[in-house]
Amino acid sequence: MTVQNTREMPHHGRTAAARAVPTRALSVTRELAASPQRIFAVLRDPARHAALDGSGMLRGRPDGPVLLGPGDRFGMAMAQAGIAYRSVNVVVEYEVDRLIAWETWGEFRGRRLIGGQRWRYELHRPPAADGSGPARTRVTHTYDWSRARLPRLVVELPGYPRRMGPAMTTTLARLAAAVRD
């Protein structure tokens, strides 16, 4: 299991000095004993997300399509610090059996108030040494808040980056159990 902060490139202004852009993404990688097809089938089923969630924030069943595709919207019941709410999620990246990502938003009367964080799963099938043995897939799970509205206030100050690494590690362990052959 690998946990790493994803670094953005430094911003170079008109002066000779460069200022570092804060890290606003965290990734966790784990190799799972399943094919990319099997893993992708679980990830694109929003009804399974609450059972996979290592953060404990997802609740109940989602609203929206049974299986996710490009551009799909789905809602999810959430709870944090005893406060219940619903998130609206939009699939923003999608490659069959390779990549799925959605942005999550808090909306009120159709207006996006907070959110913009992106949850991303990349699936890579490592080459087998001899072509035999069970299927294996390297899964990289990323929490990216670089597009979030008010990232310092709603993501960083409440400490989500610090808590998401362990939560994402748990999510990948639950995903591994869900797809175990």
Cβ(136)–Cβ(36) under 8 Å? Answer: no
Cβ(91)–Cβ(69) under 8 Å? Answer: yes
Record the pTM: 0.82
Nearest to 115 by CA among 82, 140, 81, 143: 143
The span from the CA of 109 to the CA of 88, in Å, is 12
Cβ(38)–Cβ(45) under 8 Å? Answer: no
With a CB cutoff of 8 Å and minimum separation 6, the contacts of 146 are 8, 24, 25
- Between 2 and 97, the more confident residue is 97
What is the C-alpha R_g of the chain? 17
pLDDT tens string 57-89:
888 889 999 999 999 999 998 887 788 888 899
- Lowest pLDDT segment from 91-95, 113-117, 140-144, 170-174: 113-117
Q: 3-state class of 19 per DSSP?
A: strand
The span from the CA of 77 to the CA of 86, in Å, is 4
pLDDT tens string 24-62:
989 999 999 999 999 999 999 999 999 999 988 888 889
